[in-house]
Structure 1
């Protein structure tokens, strides 16, 4: 399949920054992982889709109540009350148009890039031609009259109307979907806003960025669906072993007990920064005496998040530099490397740090994105 262009925080069109050299250098570093149990059942954390999970209970997936645009608004990140009110107008307009929450995230992120959520009027020499309003729409390019594009509801409606005409927009990387609407001079600039746009949508809608829209009703995203945040679970499988247990303190991810040859899907849009075998020969089953990840892939996402996919059956289906869509198949579950049976070892790292120092527990991280790991609460 063709891989549409995306952009992540280290690669910004506007500032002409390229992928940081240290990431490329780090891609050759040796992984230090303890045994990953595929056939061996370890401590089971459970599934976040069940009613028994305190974390799931505290992470809602959106309210059907219309977003209010009156009253006081909290500061969210660098954005004060008036800018968050503008974000609320964008979201409410999407609700009224019955656009899914993914569209709200895309629209808010686009306005963050175009105007910093400020309804700009004519700025003189600082204007980009005749661009105006939250989305910097140009009357001369058919977006409407100056008065119209300065109306946040009108501007958001025009954005959504064009977005919904983009084929497959809900499954595209955010920067691709936004660019096909905006036709910006900086087509790769939008994705860096996705994490904060997701947070804004969640805070204003009681968690809708963790949801999908089904029959005009918000539901928590299930396996195979891409949440409004742009994230999805890499496989549907039981959680066989969790992050850094007392028995395995150096286990920097979780083990998902999927069968051999199960397709592995990218958890979110990103750029492949590692695709390799870290052994002399990965084309055979691993064992307790075999070191490393075997065949594995690292993907760099927006906000300097890295996901890692270990113990693939054979050479990954993606190469370094490939730009990946959320849910794209990147390889197949196997048993290469330091492994006792077929499964996917899945890691999440923050701040662009591929070492154990950057690793965080994937279970709450993915639950927060609306892409809970597990197979419906069944233990291995």
Structure 2
């Protein structure tokens, strides 16, 4: 009896108690597709998944390098500690640096050197070209130093105007009149037609024609005669000599007495240019040098 009741070990007693307990607990049927081990782990709570812990962002240094923050952000995105292809750049605190406006970029030293060389070449070629044409033109520095020749009175008028002025002077001389009468005749022609033989009139005299704008009233001749500078000048001096005391009158008054212009002072502004032109023509004929004109080109009759 003593041998049959031998005291069993604690491990054996635990095994028997576990077998007895397991015999009393009803078996739970395992659903299809699930293993027994998975059921036990689910019941024990051993196989539960934990939520991934949030990465702790290391504090940036006082210098603001931000290398640790960039690495943490890259690890959270699964691209490596260094940020990988989409990581932030060092020194930007996790942000991309702003691009310069307008897409401007600094020129490299090589580009600047090339531009300087090209500029010097262009300047040198331009200087050589200018020097070549300067030498080929035959212009010397002494020529440039000389002042231009003064403009003479005769240069202010066209060949037609000069020819008509000479005709008036010749007709006055043929009728025994002097330079004063010739000046009045040139002054009148300047005020009427600009020393040109024109074939049209104006609002005051639509039928006026010729150098002195003489009307078609039978007093000055036919149209052909009025368009002839010699005939029209002769008709003007003929009527001028009929004016009593015309030599004592002012030139514009003497001309107005013949032409009967609406404005008796119309010819005043033409007396100075007419006198200079008559003197220049007479000096040229006498072989004398023509003095420099004292009137401006703008004061000459405008065609």
Q: Which TM-score applies when normalising by structure 1?
A: 0.33
Q: Which has the higher contact order (CA 8 A, sep 6+)?
A: 1
The structure with the greater share of residues assigned to strand is 1
The structure with the greater share of residues assigned to helix is 2
Q: Which TM-score applies when normalising by structure 2?
A: 0.42
Who wins on radius of gyration, i.e. which is larger?
A: 2
